[in-house]
Protein backbone atom coordinates (compact mmCIF):
# COMPACT_ATOMS: atom_id res chain seq x y z
CA UNK A 1 0.00 0.00 0.00
CA UNK A 2 1.05 3.53 -0.69
CA UNK A 3 1.26 5.48 2.55
CA UNK A 4 1.13 9.26 2.46
CA UNK A 5 2.41 11.21 5.47
CA UNK A 6 -0.22 13.95 5.68
CA UNK A 7 1.19 17.09 7.32
CA UNK A 8 -2.09 17.46 9.29
CA UNK A 9 -3.10 13.86 10.03
CA UNK A 10 0.10 11.80 9.93
CA UNK A 11 0.76 8.68 7.85
CA UNK A 12 -2.41 7.40 6.17
CA UNK A 13 -3.30 4.80 3.55
CA UNK A 14 -3.58 6.32 0.06
CA UNK A 15 -7.15 5.00 -0.23
CA UNK A 16 -8.10 7.94 2.00
CA UNK A 17 -6.86 10.34 -0.66
CA UNK A 18 -8.10 11.50 -4.03
CA UNK A 19 -5.51 11.77 -6.78
CA UNK A 20 -5.26 15.16 -8.50
CA UNK A 21 -2.63 14.67 -11.17
CA UNK A 22 0.55 16.42 -12.21
CA UNK A 23 1.25 19.42 -9.92
CA UNK A 24 3.79 20.96 -12.28
CA UNK A 25 1.01 22.01 -14.66
CA UNK A 26 -0.12 25.59 -14.15
CA UNK A 27 -3.27 27.17 -15.47
CA UNK A 28 -2.68 30.10 -17.84
CA UNK A 29 -4.08 33.47 -16.77
CA UNK A 30 -7.78 33.78 -17.51
CA UNK A 31 -7.19 36.42 -20.20
CA UNK A 32 -4.25 34.58 -21.77
CA UNK A 33 -5.08 34.14 -25.46
CA UNK A 34 -2.02 32.04 -26.32
CA UNK A 35 -3.37 28.81 -27.86
CA UNK A 36 -0.15 26.90 -27.10
CA UNK A 37 -0.34 27.73 -23.39
CA UNK A 38 -3.91 26.39 -23.14
CA UNK A 39 -3.12 23.35 -25.27
CA UNK A 40 -0.23 22.46 -23.03
CA UNK A 41 -2.26 23.07 -19.89
CA UNK A 42 -5.08 20.77 -20.98
CA UNK A 43 -3.24 18.02 -22.84
CA UNK A 44 0.55 17.90 -22.52
CA UNK A 45 2.00 15.98 -19.58
CA UNK A 46 5.66 15.24 -18.84
CA UNK A 47 4.67 11.81 -17.49
CA UNK A 48 8.15 11.07 -16.11
CA UNK A 49 9.43 7.62 -15.14
CA UNK A 50 10.94 8.93 -11.91
CA UNK A 51 10.29 11.86 -9.59
CA UNK A 52 6.76 13.24 -10.11
CA UNK A 53 5.16 16.18 -8.26
CA UNK A 54 1.48 15.48 -7.94
CA UNK A 55 -1.67 16.63 -6.17
CA UNK A 56 -3.47 14.45 -3.65
CA UNK A 57 -6.46 15.55 -1.56
CA UNK A 58 -7.01 13.98 1.84
CA UNK A 59 -10.76 13.56 1.26
CA UNK A 60 -11.31 11.16 4.18
CA UNK A 61 -9.23 13.26 6.55
CA UNK A 62 -8.38 16.94 6.79
CA UNK A 63 -9.54 17.57 3.18
CA UNK A 64 -6.36 19.53 2.47
CA UNK A 65 -4.81 19.42 -1.00
CA UNK A 66 -1.24 18.20 -0.81
CA UNK A 67 1.73 18.18 -3.13
CA UNK A 68 3.45 14.81 -3.00
CA UNK A 69 6.77 14.08 -4.64
CA UNK A 70 6.74 10.38 -5.58
CA UNK A 71 8.89 8.16 -7.76
CA UNK A 72 6.56 6.66 -10.39
CA UNK A 73 8.83 3.62 -10.78
CA UNK A 74 8.67 2.40 -7.17
CA UNK A 75 6.20 4.73 -5.37
CA UNK A 76 8.86 5.97 -2.92
CA UNK A 77 7.62 9.28 -1.54
CA UNK A 78 10.29 11.96 -1.14
CA UNK A 79 8.18 14.77 0.30
CA UNK A 80 4.64 15.79 1.24
CA UNK A 81 3.61 19.42 1.67
CA UNK A 82 0.44 21.47 1.76
CA UNK A 83 -0.43 22.66 -1.73
CA UNK A 84 -1.50 26.02 -0.40
CA UNK A 85 0.84 27.80 1.96
CA UNK A 86 -0.84 29.06 5.16
CA UNK A 87 -1.17 32.87 5.04
CA UNK A 88 1.75 34.54 6.76
CA UNK A 89 0.74 37.07 9.42
CA UNK A 90 1.34 40.64 8.33
CA UNK A 91 2.31 43.18 10.97
CA UNK A 92 -0.61 45.59 11.53
CA UNK A 93 -0.40 48.76 9.53
CA UNK A 94 -2.26 52.02 9.59
CA UNK A 95 -2.56 52.18 5.86
CA UNK A 96 -5.62 50.43 4.52
CA UNK A 97 -5.06 49.21 0.96
CA UNK A 98 -8.68 50.15 0.28
CA UNK A 99 -8.19 53.78 1.24
CA UNK A 100 -7.82 56.16 -1.67
CA UNK A 101 -4.84 58.45 -1.58
CA UNK A 102 -5.89 61.81 -0.12
CA UNK A 103 -5.68 64.83 -2.31
Partner 1 sequence: MRRYSALSLLANGLAGHRHWQRAWRAPEPKRSYDVVIVGGGGHGLATAFYLAENHGIRNVAVIEKGYVGGGNVGRNTTVIRSNYLLDGNTQFYEFSMKLWEGLTHALNFNVMFSQRGQIVTAHSADQLDFFGYRANVMRLNGIDAEILSRDDVRRLVPYLDYSDTARFPIHGAIMQRRAGTARHDAVAWGYARAADGHGVDIIQNCEVTGFLREGERIVGIETAKGPIAAGKVGLAVAGHTSVLGHKAGLELPIESHVLQAFVTEPLKPMVDHVVAYGADHFYVSQSDKGGLVFGGNLDGYNSYAQRGNLGVVREVAEAAIALMPCISRVRLLRHWGGVMDMTPDASPIICPTPIDGLYLNGGWCYGGFKATPASGWCFAHTIATGKPHPLNAAYSLDRFRTGRTLDEAGVGPFAWLQ
Among 26, 31, 49, 89, binds partner 1 (CB under 8 A): 49
Among the listed ranges 26-34, 46-54, 59-67, 86-94, the one in contact with partner 1 (CB under 8 A) is 46-54
Q: Indicate whether 22 belongs to the interface with partner 1 (CB under 8 A).
A: yes
Q: 16 by DSSP, 3-state: which?
A: helix
CB neighbour list of residue 102: distance below 8 Å, 6 or more residues apart:
none
Question: Cα angle at 44 between 54 and 28, to 5 degrees?
Answer: 80
State how far the Cα of 19 lies from the Cα of 34, in Å rounded to an integer: 28
Per rule CB under 8 A, count of chain residues that contact partner 1: 25
Segments in the chain forming alpha helices (H) = 35-42
Binding to partner 1 in span 79-98, by CB under 8 A: none
Contact residues: partner 1, CB under 8 A: 1-2, 13-15, 19, 21-22, 39-40, 42-49, 52, 54, 70, 72-75
Amino acid sequence: MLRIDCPCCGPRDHDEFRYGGDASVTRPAHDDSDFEAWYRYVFVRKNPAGAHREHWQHVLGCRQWLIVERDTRNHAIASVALARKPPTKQPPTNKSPARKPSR
